Structure 1
Amino acid sequence: MARPQAPSNVTVLGECVADTFTDLARSGPGELALRALPGGGPANTAVALARLGTPTRFLGRFSTDAFGTLFRARLSDSGVDLTGSVTATPEPSTLAVADLDETGQATYTFYADSAADWQWTDEELAATRSDGAVCLHTGSLALIRQPGGSRIEDHLAKAREHVTVSIDPNVRPLLVPPSAYRERLPRWCALADILRLSEDDLALLLPGANLEEACDTWHAAGARLVVITLGGRGSLASLDGLRVTVPTPAVDVADTVGAGDSFTAGLLHRLAALGRLGGRLDRLSLEDVTDACSFAARVAALTCSVPGANPPWADEAVLETDVERLLPHP
């Protein structure tokens, strides 16, 4: 296996979302208090990548409202480069109200009409620079919501001449019909080198298909590496049809908000450190994939151990000590 190399740049393109949670302690008769935290799949991934030590640029469209200010501060404080992002006026930020079940699993109601995140223009995308990035990661709502989604697809087609392309569909059926994702997914697989999605996404994208059938379908459409996260059961990774199942560390779950995004960040961080990003994954081995998915699972487990999408920092002792303690022993 290759040894980790100097950090390589990764660019993340997509949305920021204000995740709001009910605050029962501050609620009273006739009123419901909400607590807002900065989130959004691509933004969470960018934060996690930067905290792990990967030089990360985030390309987003920020509203000038209070949430937009919150988003910028969180990304900047995590070390994310916001050069190339757009200030959007007077478009609002996207808002999601999260409902947590007894296991900490979140479901969302979105308020996203005409939000800044979906209004990318061809001119704005053309003005972005790769600056030596080895990977461009995108997906989630920014890739499916119009008018910006189709323009991002065109941008990916040009960018993949120089970088590895990673896509996380992050299906949101309450906001976008699953049929819209199914229609676009073959195009995304043709553009993507890496497709990372959850078991819940799979059920919506290919109803009735098992994990292996899904991987083979998406390989045939063009994606070389498919990684399906399975919650507490780990993840299945398939590289050109060669497959491995990687376990997830046991952890006391506060909630699962941002867990998938942290997994994606851990995966890309490790693949970049191994020198495997920057092209069509020609030098990637199944051993590399196993190593990267194991690291990603540990990062996701730590994110689940705290409330909200709050991924760990690389220099936190917990990343090197508690995670090893959490790993299953023979």
Structure 2
Amino acid sequence: MRLPLVTVLGECVADAFTVPAPVLAPTPTPMPTSGELALRVLPGGGPANTAVALARLGTPARFLARLSDDVFGRLFRGHLEASGVDLTAAVRAPEPSTLAVAELDGRGQAAYSFHARGTADWQWTAGELAAVDLASTACLHSGSLALVCEPGGTVVEEFLARASATATVSVDPNVRPLLVPPAVYRERLPRWCALADILRLSEDDLELLLPGHTIERACDAWHAAGVPLVVITRGKRGAVASLNGERIAVPAPPTDVVDTVGAGDSFTAGLLHHLGTRGLLGGRLTDLRVDDVFDACTFASRVAALTCGVAGPNPPWAGQLRLPATAAGRTIGGNGDWNGG
């Protein structure tokens, strides 16, 4: 069965981790000497991670990105193409790539510092996106920094509005308060809800966007703004989904966590992939039922859990989802938190 095309729009970021670190796999990189800091760089960025996860699961995934020709841009292209992501509509950008330096805590959760001023990801023009054909796109997914960083953020938002006429629109705010003040997300989020059919965010995002709100109150506010399906991931406590006010809780598989980098992006990919396999993408989700949401979130939770079992944003391939957890190369059976995104 040929699954529907999902187009992903957003950034591809070089995720740099300090080396050595106990949560990373062994590496041949020499130990840094006094006064040095060694970094291990992996291709990342929320939208890019989602595109990779979709393609590895078997969903045709096209990535709309502005990719530099620098050393990181070449790393991105190789990683995306090796995972089966369609880059035919990606823009070759003259600006440098975005770099994020991640520090991992004892639970494998990452805190980032960004080096993003004037980089390629945020320079979208109306002309670049006007050339994109959406005729075959069943779902457009975007979010994260691409929707809030100017000068391209406004252009990307206008592109979502065009896509919403024919495709299911999915948004993941993925709030990064060290780079963009949460107030910017709060101001724009009602417009995104008016355009989107799916809003996926973490519990940490919720607290930054609507401080002090319960999940129920937040979901009601976002439904009132126009989005029918809201999914909030809660780490080892699983996820809560609300379909036009009808709420369900989905447990998370117990997981021995290496790190949580890219787990939220993998959850989003699993959600969209499962909905696509059921023929539910391509419109305003009018045929979606709460049982469909539960099944999709359950599948997405396993995709996220497997991502947590390895270092960095390295989502599983479809074949690994068909194997027992240990045979898939991950150990299931501890406690973990994949609230990160």
Q: Does TM, scored on the shorter chain, surpass 0.5?
A: yes
**By how many angstroms is 1:26 displaced?**
2.2
Aligned pairs (5 A) from 1:82-161: 82-89=87-94, 91-161=95-165
Percent identical among aligned pairs is 65
2:32 and 2:332 map into 1 onto residues whose CA distance is 36
How many residue pairs are counted as aligned between the two chains? Answer: 322
1:275 aligns to 2:315 (yes or no): no
The letter for the 2-side match of 1:23 is V
Contact 1:84–1:129 (Cα < 8 Å) also in 2 = no
Match of 1:322 in 2: 325
Contact 2:256–2:333 (Cα < 8 Å) also in 1 = no
TM-score calculated relative to the size of structure 1: 0.95
Aligned pairs (5 A) from 1:1-330: 6-24=2-20, 26-89=31-94, 91-316=95-320, 319-322=322-325, 326=332
Match of 2:27 in 1: none
Report the 3-state secondary structure (helix = DSSP H, G, I; strand = E; otherwise coil) of the residue aligned with 1:15. coil
Q: Higher mean Cα deviation, 126-135 or 290-299?
A: 126-135
**By how many angstroms is 1:8 displaced?**
1.0
The letter for the 2-side match of 1:56 is A
Report the 3-state secondary structure (helix = DSSP H, G, I; strand = E; otherwise coil) of the residue aligned with 1:268. helix
**By how many angstroms is 1:130 displaced?**
2.1
Q: Which runs of 5 or more residues in structure 1 are unaligned?
A: none
**By how many angstroms is 1:315 displaced?**
1.9
Which string of whole-angstrom CA distances, capped at 9 and with x for unpartnered residues, describes residues 182-239 of structure 1?
0110011011100000000000000000000000000000110000000110000000
Which string of whole-angstrom CA distances, capped at 9 and with x for unpartnered residues, describes residues 25-57 of structure 1?
621111010010000000000000000000000
2:306 and 2:206 map into 1 onto residues whose CA distance is 24
Contact 1:62–1:116 (Cα < 8 Å) also in 2 = yes
**By how many angstroms is 1:320 displaced?**
3.0
1:326 and 1:35 map into 2 onto residues whose CA distance is 26
The letter for the 2-side match of 1:38 is P
Report the 3-state secondary structure (helix = DSSP H, G, I; strand = E; otherwise coil) of the residue aligned with 1:315. helix
**Cα distance change of structure 1 residues 299 and 314 upon mapping to structure 2, 3 Å threshold:** same
**By how many angstroms is 1:7 displaced?**
1.0
Match of 2:339 in 1: none
1:129 and 1:82 map into 2 onto residues whose CA distance is 14
The letter for the 1-side match of 2:101 is V
Q: Which runs of 5 or more residues in structure 2 are unaligned?
A: 21-29, 335-341
Report the 3-state secondary structure (helix = DSSP H, G, I; strand = E; otherwise coil) of the residue aligned with 2:128. helix
**By how many angstroms is 1:327 displaced?**
8.8
The letter for the 1-side match of 2:188 is R
Contact 2:255–2:333 (Cα < 8 Å) also in 1 = no
Contact 1:135–1:277 (Cα < 8 Å) also in 2 = yes
**By how many angstroms is 1:243 displaced?**
0.5
Contact 1:105–1:257 (Cα < 8 Å) also in 2 = yes
TM-score calculated relative to the size of structure 2: 0.92
2:134 and 2:52 map into 1 onto residues whose CA distance is 18
1:206 and 1:261 map into 2 onto residues whose CA distance is 21
The letter for the 2-side match of 1:312 is P
The letter for the 2-side match of 1:218 is W
Contact 2:48–2:63 (Cα < 8 Å) also in 1 = yes
1:165 and 1:188 map into 2 onto residues whose CA distance is 9
